[in-house]
Amino acid sequence: NNGKGEAFSPTDTVANGLASCMFTVMGIKAKDLEIDFSGSTAHVTKIMGTEPRRITEIHVSFHFTINPSEKIKTVLERTA
């Protein structure tokens, strides 16, 4: 990819894999709590550093189709 942004890079895959993993473990916990958040989405932002080129930060924000209570939100966040 060489930083051209023309295709998914291996670091894009890492960042998206992190969000996928977080959703998976939250989904398992949500099922235990009898909560359905099907259709929810995540926004992933990857920050790259230079010399050497590397991931320095990954930000994941979730957008749920439910409006969880603060308690449930905290449980899901800590699970992820």
Question: Domains, the chain, ranges and CATH?
Answer: 10-79 (3.30.300.20)
Taking the whole predicted model, whether its pTM rises above 0.85 is answered as: no
Q: Which pLDDT score, from 0 to 100, does residue 22 have?
A: 96
Distances (CA, A) of 3 to 10, 53, 64: 11, 10, 31
C-alpha–C-alpha distance, residues 68 and 32, integer Å = 15
Residues in the chain: 80
Peptide bond connecting 52 to the previous residue in cis, omega within 30 degrees of 0: yes
Q: Which pLDDT score, from 0 to 100, does residue 8 have?
A: 83
Q: Which pLDDT score, from 0 to 100, does residue 9 have?
A: 87
With beta carbons less than 8 A apart as the criterion, state whether 20 and 41 touch.
no
Q: How confident is the prediction along the chain (80 residues), in pLDDT tens digits per residue?
A: 666 777 888 999 999 999 999 999 999 999 999 999 899 999 999 999 998 989 999 999 999 898 889 999 899 989 99
With beta carbons less than 8 A apart as the criterion, state whether 42 and 21 touch.
no
